[in-house]
Chain A
Amino acid sequence: MNIHEYQAKEIFRKYNVPVPQGRVAFTVDEAVEAAKELGGKLWVVKAQIHAGGRGLGGGVKLAKSIDEVREWADKILGMTLVTHQTGPEGKVVHKVYIEEGADIAKEYYLGMLLDRAAEMPVMMASTEGGMEIEKVAAETPEKIVKVNIDPTIGFQGFHGRKLAFGLGLPKEEVGTFIKFASALYNAYMDNDAEMVEINPLIKTGDGKFLALDAKMGFDDNALYRHPDISEMRDLEEEEPTELEAKAHGLSYIKLDGNVGCMVNGAGLAMATMDIIKHEGGEPANFLDVGGGANPETVAKGFEIILKDPNVKAIFVNIFGGIVRCDRVANGILEATKITDVTVPVIVRLDGTNAEEAAEILRNANIENIIAAENLSDGARKAVAAAKGEL
């Protein structure tokens, strides 16, 4: 689960990771009010969406007067912000963060996440802070300093020194940096974060370190023990159909093609998308119905797939194991009674009792339910049906 910058900065404050003063605002008036409360002469108006690259996309603006705060808040609130991380459709901005303008002497990058290969967290820092750290990683990886932190010993001075000296900090700044990094480590570990990223981490004119940006994501499996973080969930940032699917135990992701897919298991679901493409079609979605594949979940699956008007055919690809194919076949027939399915449905059931299942589908004699012999036959038929060639 991801949270907004303003929420991540709340967590930072709690852990003594230094951040500028700021207030979140949902309306232009609130934004102006926030700027007045903050005082000073320079403010930054920042779009709050779950994606990076806001600066380059026009979602972060400097304001030199209250009038400019009003102007920018008015422009940014309600805009559809497109960045390289939102996808081409962009994201609508529902709130802005009004922050005091900082005096930037130098920008750095600091981030932390799980290093899967080392099986422990890694903290990464770079002198190339600012907006295009991915480029740095690709073109000049030597400019990124990394240190693995064994959680059984926690964040030690030597971890901090490796990063600080790696960044080329003068020795009188090393102590302050270590304090900063150590606080960040605690914020990450205590909250079961999946990643935390500060880009830019700045040094101010008077030699202080300050997190100007803050991104945090959390391990969904651990949210049960962090009710305060679960509360930060912003449903507006999530796809409504994906949320609806999740509520029914389905995992759904909408794509751009016209062949709907309903599959059991995430790996097989991905493989099904692959084979559709391989056969010359385009998948309309990823949908994992899980192990159950009972009439209710299958019916819900049809309903969700058919919400997408692009869908011209549906490929049901179920590998029956412990849940036998004959039961799944009956489930599919039941489901077509619950949800009206108007497009051709190509059904490939393999595994335990596959023959009985084929028999059940044949005997039901429903015009738009077409049984497939095997995986490639199913994919081929589904692609043909979507093209109106079946």
Chain B
Amino acid sequence: MSILVNKDTKVIVQGFTGKEGTFHASQCIDYGTKIVGGVTPGKGGQEHLGRPVFNTVAEAVETTGATVSMIFVPPAFVADAVMEAAEAGIELAVIITEGAPVRDMMYAKMYATKKGMSTIGPNCPGIITAEECKIGIMPGMIFKKGNVGLISKSGTLTYEASHQVVQEGFGITTAVGIGGDPIIGLSYKQLLPMFEADPETEAIVMIGEIGGDLEIQAAAYIKENISKPVVAFIAGQTAPKGKRMGHAGAIISGGSGTAAEKMAALEAAGVKVVVSPAEIGKAVKEVLSK
């Protein structure tokens, strides 16, 4: 078992024939992901990486039965691509593209939600169910199969955490890179219950960062709803207070989104919080051998 995606998940790629799309789609195919086709407007009818190319997502979905889309289109066109996927009945869009305007993502996510489509990202490494299905740009071989679920805002820290978990003799069920943009799709709060419900996941690792209050919300959720052990690391404990202009940010968030605040909230929720990023693997071992 796993969450959201597995070896049977049918995936299409939006921005399939571009440089990034091509490179990463072929890596996903090598990993074993069921990439069933792709979309590049104007190239419909062609074949790419041995898969059919379609002009529209609707056509791709109708022909292939895909339920997930991996999005690589350039930032200016991301919102359009996400909304097209939602309109076509895609269930989950994994948005890899970095640099999408916030206003665009705001509209795109509203529309996705209205259409019942979940999103991951943008500006994220994607999602991987170890040894089954990789939808994104992460190095697949770092994720050995196991019993730890992983949720992370940061790309390379996702790899770091998985690597440490594997070195301690454990492995990963599913790892989700949720991205750190101001507007993101699925977050800790939506993913935690999925891991809680997944019989194979026995512990959850949560990697956060300074800024925003998603980790604080997660802490409140964990306290009430999560019975499995959770290990957390928050990056940016030593980040200097940014030079700012204006006061609005501090007013709206109530708190200032510091690492210390987040670590305290998580600890109070019973989470095993590590101070050093090198201790993630050890902490997992500790909570799993209790």
A binds B: yes
| Closest residue of A by beta carbon distance from B78 | A221
Contacting residues of chain B (55-103) with chain A, CB-CB under 8 angstroms: 75-76, 99-103
Within 8 Å by CB of A111, from B155, B156, B239, B246, lies B246
Cβ-defined contact, A119 with B152, below 8 A: no
- Whether, in the assembled complex, B200 has its beta carbon less than 8 Å from a beta carbon of chain A, the answer is no
- Whether, in the assembled complex, A87 has its beta carbon less than 8 Å from a beta carbon of chain B, the answer is yes
Contacting residues of chain A (245-300) with chain B, CB-CB under 8 angstroms: 253, 255, 263-268, 270-278, 283, 286
Number of chain A residues whose Cβ lies closer than 8 Å to a Cβ of chain B: 69
- Whether, in the assembled complex, B240 has its beta carbon less than 8 Å from a beta carbon of chain A, the answer is yes
Contacting residues of chain A (16-71) with chain B, CB-CB under 8 angstroms: 50-52
Cβ-defined contact, A275 with B139, below 8 A: no
Q: Produce 1/0 per residue, A142-173, CB < 8 A to B.
A: 00101000011000000000000000000000
CA distance A277 to B259 in the complex (A): 14
Cβ-defined contact, B207 with A87, below 8 A: no
Q: Contacts A51-B244, A120-B106, A192-B102 hold; do A271 and B160 have CB atoms under 8 A apart?
A: yes
Contacting residues of chain B (212-258) with chain A, CB-CB under 8 angstroms: 212-213, 217, 233, 235-240, 243-254
CA distance A276 to B246 in the complex (A): 31
Q: What residues of chain B lie closer than 8 Å to A319, measured between beta carbons? A: 156, 159-160, 163
Q: What residues of chain A lie closer than 8 Å to B142, measured between beta carbons? A: 321, 351-352
Number of chain B residues whose Cβ lies closer than 8 Å to a Cβ of chain A: 59
- Whether, in the assembled complex, B272 has its beta carbon less than 8 Å from a beta carbon of chain A, the answer is no
Cβ-defined contact, B245 with A268, below 8 A: no
Within 8 Å by CB of B103, from A111, A189, A273, lies A189
A interface, over-half SS: mixed
Q: Contacts A151-B107, A265-B156, A375-B160 hold; do A273 and B249 have CB atoms under 8 A apart?
A: no
- Whether, in the assembled complex, B9 has its beta carbon less than 8 Å from a beta carbon of chain A, the answer is no
- Whether, in the assembled complex, B110 has its beta carbon less than 8 Å from a beta carbon of chain A, the answer is yes
- A266-B154, A352-B142 known; 8 new pairs, CB 8 Å cut-off, are A52-B244, A113-B248, A117-B213, A117-B217, A192-B102, A219-B102, A273-B239, A319-B156
- What are 29 A-B contacts defined by CB distance under 8 Å? A51-B243, A51-B245, A85-B245, A111-B246, A111-B248, A112-B248, A116-B212, A137-B254, A146-B252, A151-B103, A151-B107, A199-B246, A215-B245, A215-B246, A221-B100, A265-B156, A265-B157, A266-B180, A268-B156, A268-B235, A270-B154, A270-B238, A273-B238, A274-B235, A276-B238, A283-B238, A319-B159, A321-B156, A351-B163
Q: Which A residues have a C-beta under 8 Å from some C-beta of B? A: 2, 50-52, 85-87, 111-117, 119-120, 122, 124, 133-134, 137, 141, 144, 146, 151-152, 189, 192, 194-195, 197, 199, 215, 217, 219, 221-222, 224-225, 253, 255, 263-268, 270-278, 283, 286, 319-322, 350-352, 374-376, 379
